[in-house]
Amino acid sequence: MSIIDYGVGNIASIANMLKKAGYDSELTGDPERIAAAEKIILPGVGAFDRAAIKLRETGLGQLVVERTLAGAQILGVCLGMQLLLDGSEEGVEPGLGIIPGRVRRFPREVNGVSLRVPHMGWNTIHRVGHRDAFPNVSDGDRFYFVHSYYADPLDEGDRMATTGHGVQFASMVRRGSVIGAQFHPEKSHKLGLKLLSDFAAA
């Protein structure tokens, strides 16, 4: 299992949590190692454009697309999930286009009430589809979020879980062997451990 190291994201904490769960992983930016992996985690924090440029310049973004077409299991985390879509209102760079849709900014207010942005802290997920995946992640589980933008898939069938923060947004997505989680499993304690364990064991 490869965790892509492209200079964006707190990847060591994900590797440490996987190790705690009893699973081996490697932090790597080596295309050959990633090309050989059957499970790939795409992490990310920060600005969409900066991460998209890094993936393009290193060729790792195209490699993720190729591994997806080959049937590898992909998990995008936080910004890594957003990068799976076509693009973001945050910038101008294209995403990987694996899951059709756009990344949108949370509104500043809803029904005349100011909305706190970024969405930061613990919040509940509601499973809405793909219940065969992540059997130990349940409807009503709470995970830790830090983000100002959210994924808006074109196909409702790509939504795996939703969360409310002014709007109901996709907190998990899935298309084929590709899954995205908007929250931070590495900051979500036991529930984050369950999610990463489910991905590693599938």
Asked if 128 contacts 173 with a C-beta cutoff of 8 angstroms, the reply is no
For 9, 18, 83, 99, 110, the CA distances from 186, given in Å and listed in that order, are 11, 9, 19, 23, 30
Catalytic residue among 32, 66, 78, 189: 78
Q: Which two tokens stand for residue 183?
A: 């929250």
| C-alpha–C-alpha distance, residues 197 and 193, integer Å | 6
> How far is residue 63 CA from its own chain's centroid?
17
- The answer to whether the bond into 118 is cis (omega within 30° of 0) is yes
Pairing of strands 73-77, 39-42: parallel
Assign 198 to helix, strand or coil.
Answer: helix
User: Does 147 qualify as catalytic in the annotation?
Assistant: no
User: Does 184 qualify as catalytic in the annotation?
Assistant: yes
74 Ramachandran zone, left/alpha/beta (phi>0; psi -120 to 50): beta
Q: Which two tokens stand for residue 178?
A: 């590709």
| C-alpha–C-alpha distance, residues 153 and 161, integer Å | 12
**Residues in a beta bridge with 173:** 159, 180
Catalytic residue among 38, 93, 186, 189: 186
Positions marked catalytic:
78, 184, 186
